[in-house]
A and B are shown apart, each in its own frame.
Chain A
């Protein structure tokens, strides 16, 4: 129990305190430990973690094949891919002119071939499929159900169109005409009166047309209706406000968790 519980907790507490106080104590030894040694320890541990991860992957996939769980055929590809990568990385270079280690990124080697012609196209394909799923999902899920959903929908559309060159070609006057149309539809739904609807539509069109004629129809004026400006505003204001709130929340969460680790309250890393 001492080796499995108390000593690991003691190590975590001491190292945690040392790292924390390293920022506040002006001592070259502690500073060197925090900045150099601790980070190198981390590098070494991370390298060993890769071995553990690989072994775990093989264990899980192998078990799936042996017990023929559903989708076990896919596991064959995972195991085959892993073995192929091991061969290309440690056993067969494919280009004797290149030394071991540097063969991974050098031209004419099996590993580089695997990266260029298997890994790269597969990764790019997986990511590219997102475009299709985003289109299908947004078509079905993006609905004007309530005020929050409407805000999300409108800002989403402004970002999508405003971010691309097409958005900068759309005149702010076109957006204003569009708003007049939407306004008259809203008036019709709410009041169910054809005369009022026609009045809103006609009044809006006349105001926008006179205003545009006087201003000379500049594409990006008034900027409040110009999509690239609107998307900039959304990015810089509501978005940054939300992002900052999330960051502060995460920061406080990390602080609280770190304190729990240092005090030995959080013991998930020893399996408790």
Chain B
């Protein structure tokens, strides 16, 4: 009996990688069609982002920066949507900038969906899309010293001086809060180093899971108030604001996919162990 089990494990260990692809494909697809409804518990880092937004007075000026594109949209877009929802629910004024060219497309999508269609807000009075400017951290530095030198018009061609909510907004210091939805460089770290730290404006961020390692030291030191870490961070934030969205629906699939990968790793190691023992024996 034991011999058969070992042979079975060994045969699984030599399985063609196309089978692995098939299993992963199913592990991702099936929970999307048949949700499991696993409970979502907010981590301390996500809770801190929520608390920081919640502490803002109504009509606070919040700068939201979109630094991601279509490739990282599944991870970052849900948190951008959730943050916008939270800000608009609390009647904050939202100013959107983009350090990535494709970030402007993401921002347009998010603002159309949330500000226009869901909340029916007025452009220029409740929110404004300043758009993309090339230059990476130089753009952040420019925003810190003088927004009007960098942005003479917004993303829709309106002169910045003619936008009602831009009155008395000249530099980063005029904002009450910064949120960076970031998938890499330029992104969160540049906002901390060139804007939040020198001006003292509090900031939070949402990043891809892989970036969390780089940003975590800033979170721990208090330079960044919490972090939404990848899709789980988005799902946790959705749970906190009581508005389940794309992040929540993706969590079942991610949970099962992670579990399957772990099982593959365990099987791979058992096979490796048996083979090593056999090699020692003979």
Contact = CB atoms under 8 A, between A and B. Distances in A.
Contacts of B230: 163
Interface stretch (B55-63, B199-207, B209-217): B209-217
B212 A40 contact: no
B156 interface: yes
A46 B134 contact: yes
22 contacts: A39-B138, A39-B142, A40-B149, A43-B133, A105-B155, A127-B71, A127-B74, A131-B257, A132-B25, A135-B21, A138-B265, A157-B265, A160-B261, A161-B259, A164-B232, A165-B235, A165-B251, A165-B252, A169-B39, A239-B216, A243-B217, A247-B217
B269 interface: yes
B68 to A, nearest CB: 11
A102 B135 contact: no
Interface stretch (A8-16, A118-126, A191-199): A118-126
B229 interface: yes
Given A123-B70, A240-B220, 7 more contacts: A42-B135, A43-B142, A46-B134, A135-B264, A136-B21, A160-B258, A244-B217
B216 A243 contact: yes
Interface stretch (B1-9, B40-48, B79-87, B113-121): B40-48
A240 B216 contact: yes
Contacts of A47: 134
Nearest to B21: A132
Q: Is the interface of A mostly helix, strand, loop or mixed?
A: helix
A36 interface: yes
Contacts of A165: 38-41, 232, 235, 251-252, 255
Interface stretch (A60-68, A69-77, A202-210, A228-236): A228-236
Interface residues of A, number: 57
Bin the interface of chain B by size: 35 or more
Interface of A: 35-36, 38-40, 42-43, 46-47, 50, 99, 101-102, 105, 112, 115, 119-121, 123-124, 126-128, 131-132, 134-136, 138-140, 142-144, 153, 156-157, 160-161, 163-169, 228, 232, 235-236, 239-240, 242-244, 247
Pairs A-B, 7 closest by C-beta atoms: A166-B255, A165-B38, A120-B70, A123-B70, A123-B71, A39-B138, A35-B145
Contacts of B40: 165, 168
A82 B145 CA distance: 36
Contacts of B272: 143-144
B216 A235 contact: yes
Contacts of A140: 268
A38 B134 CA distance: 14
A272 B104 CA distance: 39
B39 A168 contact: yes
A141 to B, nearest CB: 9
Contacts of A236: 216, 220
A163 B212 CA distance: 12
A128 B25 CA distance: 10
Given A135-B260, A140-B268, A43 B138 contact: yes
